[in-house]
Chain A
Amino acid sequence: KAGVTQTPRYLIKTRGQQVTLSCSPISGHRSVSWYQQTPGQGLQFLFEYFSETQRNKGNFPGRFSGRQFSNSRSEMNVSTLELGDSALYLCASSSGTGALTEAFFGQGTRLTVV
């Protein structure tokens, strides 16, 4: 079956703009989590959605938001981009919620803010 699909793979934006990233989970998976990966901060949890509800949220400013649709596809949005938002954004999908279900990661969207 198809894996986790993240679009676009690469993105270049200007400071102050906003951006929307998309994640299509594995068919049948209802949980989607987002992570930011940077050389300085490593992998940091952004938020988790399960059945269209945000279940968990990391320590990021309100400029970072997300949502999940009825087909489990998820989007995350970053408004008023800053240079420090340049990162690889990873999405992970799971069939359920909790450590008993494995998280499958997409290849990520590399965002560059100039």
Chain B
Amino acid sequence: AQSVTQLDSQVPVFEEAPVELRCNYSSSVSVYLFWYVQYPNQGLQLLLKYLSGSTLVKGINGFEAEFNKSQTSFHLRKPSVHISDTAEYFCAVSEAGGGNKLTFGTGTQLKVEL
């Protein structure tokens, strides 16, 4: 079975600074990888996804992520954060042939400070 690890439960960062949110996964089969964002009292919104091809994936709101198969990682980065990026970020994986089932990490709370 697949699993996802987000080692950082909270990441504080100053506005306009760069940020990296870490995600590692484990699976015995081919996987697809996702990053979602959740604002308070809201559902989840897809930031970006990796299905195949180029390992550098660009998403919405200036976020990007790099798939590293050898390190089984899919870290999320943004070169310059804004106050409005304060939210919880979830890394998720689905297995090839696993339908729409997503396995999520425990989330990383990004807090952007002035």
Contact = CB atoms under 8 A, between A and B. Distances in A.
A48 interface: yes
Contacts of B17: none
Interface residues of A, number: 28
Interface string A80-114: 00000000001010100111111111111000000
A92 B104 CA distance: 14
Nearest to A101: B100
Contacts of B51: 99-100
Contacts of A43: 90, 92, 102, 104, 107
B44 interface: yes
Contacts of A107: 41-43
B100 A48 contact: yes
B102 A45 contact: yes
B94 A99 contact: yes
B100 A56 contact: yes
Interface in B75-107: 90, 92, 94, 96, 98-107
Nearest to B46: A102
Contacts of B90: 43
A82 B49 CA distance: 36
B64 to A, nearest CB: 18
A108 B43 contact: yes
Q: How large is the interface on B (under 10, 10 to 19, 20 to 34, 35 or more residues)?
A: 20 to 34
B63 interface: no
Nearest to B50: A99
Contacts of A106: 43
B41 A94 contact: no
Contacts of B61: none
Interface of A: 4, 31, 33, 35, 42-45, 48, 50, 55-56, 58, 90, 92, 94, 97-108
Given A105-B45, A106-B43, 5 more contacts: A43-B92, A43-B107, A44-B104, A50-B99, A107-B43
10 contacts: A43-B102, A45-B103, A58-B101, A90-B44, A92-B102, A97-B100, A100-B51, A105-B43, A107-B42, A107-B43
